Amino acid sequence: MATIAVLGTLDSKGEEHAFVAALIARHGHKPLLIDVGTGGPATVQPDITREQVAASAGIDLAALMAKKDRGECVVAMTKAAPACVAKLAAEGRIDGIISLGGGGGTAIGTAAMRALPLGFPKLMVSTLAAGNVAPYLGTKDITMMPSIADVAGLNRLSRVIFTRAAGAICGMVSVEPTIGAAKPLIVASQFGNTTTCVTEAKKVLEAAGYEVLVFAATGTGGRIMESVIESGIVSGVLDVTTTEWADELVGGNLNAGPERMDAAAKANIPVVVAPGCLDMVNFGEKASVPAKFAGRNFYIHNPQITLMRTTADECRQLGAIVAKKANAYQAGTAIMIPRKAISVISAAGQPFHDAVADEALFTALKSNATVTVQEFDLAINDKEFAQACAYKLIELIGCRS
């Protein structure tokens, strides 16, 4: 029997959560009702009270509720609920979580879910599920299910939706994933312009007995990769596509935030870094490019994606940023520089070829790095460069054994 947390504001939506809890019990699992409401008294008896939830984050709930500020109460519960459920999960007291809500309930429910590890069953039934859910999901595998109508009582529609939701979370906790033989895990960053490099490196790494998990360097992909690294399940990082830093610095669409490249230092694992695709900043369709970039070198990747060539000054800054990030890696690292091209379109004769900008990047990498830097008279997608990156990472991991 699995235990499933049923988390919600039991003052205003107690009937709905109690309905789901009863269905979970009918499926042979144990529901654990958790109250995160901050309005009137709970309308159903919770297993974990709002006071206990608040105490998980050291919050004086009585004092908070006395202010009668709903916004402040919701913010407080988005801090307390994650602390509460993370502790429950760490202690093995819950095996899955479900929540139902509108704006406030979704904020609290998904905040709690983001505190749980990847692979842990998470289901949020929400009025917001049909819109932009990126802020609610973060980098976690939260399943969002549209409530269709508001979560406001039980009716002929909501009973169907909630019944399916209860069945879904019960199915999630009942199915044991088949992972296969455990191999040391390596994560790699990839863009369309570095796919050939990563594909070849992946062959070498897999032949050496590693499992390789590839993430698209699209902003979200980089953030998720950082989250996986931070989880402690990764043995090494092949970060050959650091392009998201170009978007972060210049203001493109695919930035992964200032913490990109930080997780490996915290996880204390070996890393191989390359300046893959630091020649490009990503925007949407051409008309969406900010006017301040008029006159720059653009390449239409497809009707929805416009690439902009980074300048020598931007490359100089990017080299310094990437080198300083790499300097923080204490478990062994190397910066690998492919001098002939850092993407398909930066090679000689291609639209983004700019020897001056590339040299500014390479010089900044070398002058700011305190870790090993290796240069190759190759393009990033040359087979020999890809293999060199893979073998260097294997060597660095081996030095730790």
Pairing of strands 305-309, 234-239: unpaired
Cβ contact 229:263 at 8 Å = yes
Cβ density class 188-213: b for 16+ within 10 Å, e for less:
bbbbebbebbbbbbbebbeebebbbe
The rounded distance, in Å, linking the Cα atoms of 112 and 302 is 38
Q: Assign 3-class secondary structure to 122-167.
A: EEEEECCCCCCCHHHHCCCCCEEEECCCCCCCCCHHHHHHHHHHHH
Residue 14 per-residue DSSP state: H
Q: For the chain, 401 residues long, give each residue's pLDDT as a single digit of tens.
A: 999 999 999 999 999 999 999 999 999 999 999 999 998 899 999 999 999 999 999 999 999 888 888 899 999 999 999 999 999 999 999 999 999 999 999 999 999 999 998 899 999 999 999 898 989 999 899 999 999 999 999 999 999 999 999 999 999 999 988 766 679 999 999 999 999 999 999 999 999 999 999 999 999 999 999 999 988 899 999 999 999 999 999 999 999 999 999 999 999 999 999 999 999 999 999 999 999 999 999 999 998 999 999 999 999 999 999 999 999 999 999 999 999 999 999 999 999 999 999 999 999 999 999 999 999 999 999 999 999 999 999 999 988 65
Sign of CA dihedral 23, 25, 27, 30: positive
- Continuous H helices in 251-369: 263-267, 312-327, 355-368
* Residue of 341, 333, 330 lying closest to 275 (CA atoms): 341
Tokens of 351: 């639209």
Would you state the pLDDT for residue 257?
95
If you write DSSP's letter for every residue of 198-242 in order, what string do you get? HHHHHHHHHHTT-EEEEEE-SSHHHHHHHHHHHTT-EEEEEE-B-
Sign (positive or negative) of CA dihedral 105, 107, 111, 113: positive
For 11-23, the pLDDT digits (tens) are: 999 999 999 999 9
119: its two tokens: 């692979």
Between CA 104 and CA 75 the distance in angstroms is 9
CA distance linking residue 385 with residue 391, whole number of Å: 10
d(CA 401, CA 399): 6
Helix (H) or strand (E) holding 189: strand 185-190
Q: Distances in Å between the alpha carbon of 328 and those of 4, 77, 111, 266, 364?
A: 40, 35, 29, 9, 16
Cβ atoms of 226 and 174 closer than 8 Å? no
Query: How confident is the model at residue 180, as a pLDDT?
Result: 65
Strand partners, 283: 306
Other Cβ atoms within 10 Å of 17 Cβ, number: 30
Domains and CATH numbers, the chain: 3-174 (3.40.50.12020), 185-400 (3.40.50.12030)
What does the pLDDT look like over 180-192, one tens digit per residue?
A: 667 999 999 999 9
Res 139: pLDDT: 87
Between the alpha carbon of residue 149 and those of residues 18, 100, 101, 158, the distances in Å are: 18, 12, 11, 7
Single-letter code of the amino acid located at 307: L
Nearest to 56 by CA among 93, 91, 81, 92: 81
Token couple for 244: 């998201």
Q: Which two tokens stand for residue 213?
A: 């998990």
Q: What is the pLDDT of residue 118?
A: 87
CA–CA dist 31, 34 (Å, integer): 9
CB contact at 8 A, 272 and 389: yes
- Write down the H helix ranges in 67-102: 70-90
Neighbours of 268 (CB within 10 A): 12
